Each structure stands twice: as structure tokens, then as C-alpha cells.
Amino acid sequence: MYTTLISAEQLRELMAAKARLMVFDCSFDLMQPEAGLQQYRAAHIPGAVYANLDTALSAKHGVAGAHGVVVAKDDGPPASGGRHPLPSREKFAGWLSSVGFANDMQAVVYDRNGNNYCGRLWWMLKWAGHDAVAVLDGGLQAWRAVGGELRSDTEPSHFQSNFEPRPPLRTLVTTGQVARALGEQAQTLIDARGAPRYRGEVEPLDPVAGHIPGALNRPFGSNLGPDGRFKPPEQLRTEFEQLLAGRAPETVVHHCGSGVSAVPNLIAMELAGFGATRLYAGSWSEWCRTPGLPVEKG
């Protein structure tokens, strides 16, 4: 069972052995939402299912508002706020069942965006109680590099399964919990957005620029080496220890703009041996739309 990363060579071995496996292509582009599906159709790992951030991995076709989230009527209450609110665990389980994913399967998730969007599905499966999920280290580029086969056909037909959520393996934190713990030693916030957005110099997506007071900044791309793969565990551990500067790793809460690019930081901490940490999925997009919450710049 692979639970954090899987190499392209290991994935090829699993596929050759006809393991109980489902591969998910999570490629996406925030500025061009249709681009990910187009890329998937042009080239994907054989048998891969496309997991769309906006429709499969989020609870909405609307936007975050000042007092909550506008969602499609059939989505039900979301599990978080923000630009990409999490669907309920039950709604997510329904989507997994619709594509034929079952509780006894190994999941492998990948993208072609620096292991960014696929981390969302990795975390959601853990949150649904499914431990056998791994990120393809290096993404589609790593698969190409080992001569892995690519397809340009349409998505494979699915047989309905009955995926059942189990007790969560990862913890979700709400806006209220983050706000109540501001400035306390029991909470260390790590913001995964790029430094200019963190500092409040630019803000291309949300109505307010800046960051949550006291948050540390570690852009999610900092976890990858020049080859697009995660850095060695020892290097990641050293870098996070420098960032935390004595703060307890178990106090960490990860966030970003909308709860997506925060996950590579969460995965990196696990690879470094710090154990599971928490995710604030609503992230900056929910925080900055909530009246009365403080904003910091610089």
C-alpha cells in the first residue's frame, strides 16, 4: 500500500501486475478552468479518470460570500468555505462511487502542475478515511521521463461502486477555530501562497490582499527539487525546522488561497517525519471575506 508518494516506476509495476488500482488526473488551471480537461484529453496515463477541481473536488458552482458559500442546490452544505469549498464527505463518496472507486483500491493521483492540484484529492481521500492514496512524484512529467505509455482517448467507462466513508485520517480546521487560536502557542499557521501575495503586494483572485496575522510563509513550490519531485526527507525536515524556529510541529495549520496549494506543504511535513498536520480548507479566500477578521501585510 502506498500512502504518500509513488514513483513512476512503481506505478508502472502496479499497472503491469493488474493491481486493484485507480489513477486520477487532477490537472487544472485556475485562470483557464477548461484547460485541465483539454490537457487530459490530449495525453493521460492509460485508464486515468479525470478529477476536476471545480466540479468533482469542490462543492460549488458559485463563489464564496461574506456569510458563507453559494453552492449548487444539489451539492448540499459544504464542509468548508472559500473559493473551492470542500463537498461533504457523503457528496465526495458519491462521486468516488460514480467513477467506480472502491474502498479496497489503491489510488494514485497526479497532475502536470507541480503536484499542486492532485494534493487536493490525496487529502480528500485521507479525510474520507482512505489511506491507500499516493501522489505520483514528479507528476505526468516523471511518467513521460520513464517512457510511460500515454493515451489521448476519452475517459474510460465506469461501473458504479459503493465507496463508504470511514473515520477521517486528516483533520479539518474551521475559520472560527483559527480565529479563536490567533496568537496562541497551540496554533502555528503556514501560508503556502507565493511571497508577493502573502505580503499583500498583489492579489489576483481575492478581494483583499495580505495574510492572516502571525502566519509563516512557505510557498508550496519550495517542497520540490529542480526535477519536479519532492525534496529528500532530510532536506525537508531541515527547512521546516528553520521555518518553525522552535514552534511545535503538531501545532501547524496549513492554508493558502482556497485550500488547494496548502496540501503540498502538509505532504512535505509528513515526508519529513513530522506526522499528520491540520488543514484550514477555507484559507485566505474565506478569511478575507469574513467580516471583522484581522489582516496583516508585509
pLDDT in tens, 21-43: 999 999 999 999 999 999 999 99
- Report whether 64 contacts 83 (CB < 8 A): yes
Q: What is the mean pLDDT of the chain?
A: 93
Cα distance between residue 109 and residue 107, in whole Å: 7
120 phi, psi to nearest 5 deg: -60, -50
Q: Does domain 5-145 have CATH number 3.40.250.10?
A: yes
**Binning pLDDT at 50, 70 and 90, where does residue 74 land?**
low
Give catalytic residue positions: 256
pLDDT at 157: 78
Q: Region 206-229: what's the mean pLDDT? A: 97
pLDDT at 167 over 50: yes
Residue 7 CB neighbours (<10 A):
17
- Report whether 81 contacts 68 (CB < 8 A): yes
Q: Region 62-90: what's the mean pLDDT? A: 69
- Report whether 123 contacts 266 (CB < 8 A): yes
pTM: 0.94
Which residue from 292, 293, 290, 294 is spatially nearest to 69, judged by alpha carbons?
290
pLDDT at 71: 45
Cα distance between residue 176 and residue 54, in whole Å: 25
Which residue ranges does the chain devote to CATH 3.40.250.10? 5-145, 175-287
pLDDT at 75: 53
Q: Region 160-171: what's the mean pLDDT? A: 96
What stretch of H or E contains 65?
strand 64-65
DSSP strand E in 86-210: where? 106-110, 133-136, 188-191
pLDDT above 90 covers a percentage of the chain that reads 91
Long-range contacts from 197-202, C-beta under 8 angstroms, 24+ separation: 197/257, 199/297, 199/298, 200/295, 200/296, 200/297, 200/298
Q: Which CATH class is domain 175-287?
A: alpha beta
Cα distance between residue 294 and residue 90, in whole Å: 33
Collapsing DSSP to helix, strand or coil, 117 comes out as helix
User: Poorest-confidence range of 158-162, 190-194, 247-251, 254-258?
Assistant: 158-162
Cα distance between residue 252 and residue 230, in whole Å: 20
C-alpha cell, 72: 449548487
Cα distance between residue 75 and residue 34, in whole Å: 21
**Binning pLDDT at 50, 70 and 90, where does residue 67 land?**
very low
What stretch of H or E contains 69?
strand 68-69
The distance between the two most distant Cα atoms of the chain, rounded to a whole number of Å, is 56
DSSP state of 56: T
139, 224, 255, 256 from 149: Cα distances, Å: 14, 24, 35, 34
pLDDT at 169 over 90: yes
pLDDT at 22: 97
